[in-house]
Amino acid sequence: MSLSPGNTPLIAVLVKTFNELHAPLSASIGAIWRGTGSPPEGKTILQNQLILTAQRFVNIRECSDQEKQRYFEEICRCFNLQCEGERFPVRDKSFFDSNIIQKLNRMPASVSYLEEYDARHGTNFADKARSALFQFANLIIKSDGKVTKSEEAALLKFKETVYPPGSNAPKELEKDTARETQEQVEALEAEPPRSLEDLLEELGSLIGLERVKNEVKQLVNFLRVQQMRQAKGMPTLPVSRHLVFYGNPGTGKTTVARLLAQIYRALEILSAGHLLETDRSGLVAGYVGQTALKVKEVVNKALGGILFIDEAYSLSSGDGEDFGREAVETLLKMMEDHRHDLVVVVAGYTTKMDEFLSSNPGLRSRFNKFIYFEDYTAEQLKQIFQSFCKKAGFILTPAAEERLANVFGLLTALRDESFGNARAARNLFEATISKQANRIVSLPEIDERVLSTIEAEDIPEAEEMQTRTDQPFTRN
């Protein structure tokens, strides 16, 4: 029993992904560590998880202990794991005792720490860790091309552990997601399309995004004129309806894409007008021969609407053997096959998106419309915060409004490309509500006014929010 050469690209991608998780994992552990002594390194936590996972899944293979040992050591070599002293047989009843099994059947500590990091930064490292851990287990189980019932049951249990209810499970295994997408499409098709005027009015009501609004309106006007020319038998200009959204996180890309899907339906360009969001983990499979099938499944769910691919540049971030290239090639073919009822929007950081489009000649020809999402200003972030307050029934005192403006002024002055924008506003709002609750819970009398009022002291200082995101803070 051995890893096949066909798994080499997957191993390279997983090793790269695990290495990328070390830094945010260490940062998160250091930020919340309450134990005695120095906190453990993220690399150590993750490697221990991989060794334990490898031992468990290798142990249920139907082969001799000697073969298991060789296979386990090969996996450890491929993933740079220190496995000295780890020997098979692993003594099921003693090695995998109840305490060990409980640990294996709980959410991996690495994922929990990364969830905390994501909450502070607006990143998605926890999802990347889930995907990589699940692909790691898949690799061990499926490398010989067969899966026994016991292996299948163990893999399913691991999947349920790594992807608890409500998390972003792999698309090909998440049947509920497929059903929800179909229900969304059916619900939209059952309703008459919203008027173009109504949709454009909603677009115009979004805070900030003036450049984006103008770009979308120009695109809509161009498409309408082309439809008028076609109706009169006049020549029309060929145009790609696929779009590139580029800019930093939290700048409204998904919100605008969802509105655009309905606008395209109002223009009778798309039949359903729904939005299907995905990323690399939803398009690239963890083992040989499955990526094309996975892409086709996702595209089929998106037909009639917009397929929104976040961090699309990650599809071209691997080496020449990476499965991401297969995903791109399959996607391009399906975009051509379904060009009359599918629109694809790719999104991500500005420089990385340019590199992505340069990775395949077909991408440049299909994505020639670019919309840039600018960072929100301090005043716009304040307005977003106030919109959260209004929806939740809170009122800011004048002093609180002044402090809010100062906090956003400091945060925006120090931001980099990882700044969360609207996510930062939501994080500040949630921290504010928490501080308000701590302030009023011990008051002798609490009425509706007290419950709904946010005072200046409830709003965290900029330094506190910087600490929450592990970013350096310097007051000029």
pLDDT digits (tens, 9 = 90+) for 291-333: 888 888 889 889 999 999 988 888 876 554 567 888 888 999 9
Banded pLDDT at 461 (limits 50, 70, 90): confident
Query: In this structure, are 392 and 455 located in the same domain?
Result: yes
Tens digit of pLDDT for each residue in 234-284?
988 877 789 999 888 889 999 999 999 999 999 988 888 888 988 888 888
The rounded distance, in Å, linking the Cα atoms of 88 and 68 is 7
Output the CA torsion 36→37→38→40 (10° steps): -60
Last residue of a domain, one of 162, 190, 208: 162
What pTM value is reported for the model? 0.61
Last residue of a domain, one of 137, 162, 187: 162
Is 276 a member of any domain? yes
For the domain that residue 450 is a member of, what is the CATH number?
1.10.8.60
Query: In this structure, are 232 and 357 located in the same domain?
Result: yes
Tens digit of pLDDT for each residue in 223-243?
999 889 989 999 888 777 899
Joined together, the tokens standing for residue 101 give 């099994």
The mean pLDDT value for 128-144 works out to 83
The mean pLDDT value for 384-399 works out to 92
Check whether 371 has a pLDDT greater than 70. yes
Query: In this structure, are 191 and 296 located in the same domain?
Result: yes
Is 169 a member of any domain? no
**The pLDDT of residue 169:** 56
Query: In this structure, are 58 and 138 located in the same domain?
Result: yes
The total number of structural domains in the chain stands at: 3
Top pLDDT among 19 and 187 is at 19
Query: In this structure, are 124 and 201 located in the same domain?
Result: no
With tokens 């790269």, the residue in question is: 16
Check whether 215 has a pLDDT greater than 50. yes
Last residue of a domain, one of 132, 162, 192: 162
pLDDT exceeding 90 applies to what percent of the chain?
24
The rounded distance, in Å, linking the Cα atoms of 173 and 156 is 10
Is 12 a member of any domain? yes
The 3-class SS string of the chain reads CCCCHHHHHHHHHHHHHHHHHHHHHHHHHHHHCCCCCCCCCHHHHHHHHHHHHHHHHHHCCCCCHHHHHHHHHHHHHHCCCCCCCCCCCCCHHHHCCHHHHHHHCCCCHHHHHHHHHHHHHCCCHHHHHHHHHHHHHHHHHHCCCCCCHHHHHHHHHHHHHHCCCCCCCCCCCCHHHHHHHHHHHHHHHHCCCCCHHHHHHHHHHCCCCHHHHHHHHHHHHHHHHHHHHHHCCCCCCCCCCCEEEEECCCCCHHHHHHHHHHHHHHCCCCCCCCEEEECHHHHCCCCCCCHHHHHHHHHHHHCCCEEEECCHHHHHCCCCCCHHHHHHHHHHHHHHHCCCCCEEEEEECHHHHHHHHHCCHHHHHHCCCEEEECCCCHHHHHHHHHHHHHHHCCEECHHHHHHHHHHHHHHHHCCCCCCCCHHHHHHHHHHHHHHHHHHHCCCCCCCHHHHHEECHHHCCCHHHHHHHCCCCCCCC
Distance in Å from the first CA to the final CA of the chain: 62
Query: In this structure, are 82 and 192 located in the same domain?
Result: no
Query: What's the mean pLDDT when you consider all of the chain?
Result: 81
The rounded distance, in Å, linking the Cα atoms of 360 and 367 is 11
Query: In this structure, are 194 and 155 located in the same domain?
Result: no
Query: In this structure, are 285 and 397 located in the same domain?
Result: no
**The pLDDT of residue 208:** 92
Query: In this structure, are 67 and 118 located in the same domain?
Result: yes
Is 26 a member of any domain? yes
The mean pLDDT value for 426-453 works out to 88
The rounded distance, in Å, linking the Cα atoms of 201 and 214 is 12
The mean pLDDT value for 128-153 works out to 79
Is 474 a member of any domain? no
Joined together, the tokens standing for residue 431 give 């921290």
Is 476 a member of any domain? no
For the domain that residue 336 is a member of, what is the CATH number?
3.40.50.300
Query: In this structure, are 389 and 369 located in the same domain?
Result: no
Banded pLDDT at 434 (limits 50, 70, 90): confident
Query: In this structure, are 204 and 230 located in the same domain?
Result: yes
Is 167 a member of any domain? no
The rounded distance, in Å, linking the Cα atoms of 448 and 452 is 6
Is 406 a member of any domain? yes
Query: In this structure, are 354 and 385 located in the same domain?
Result: no
**The pLDDT of residue 144:** 65
* Structural domain of 446: 378-468
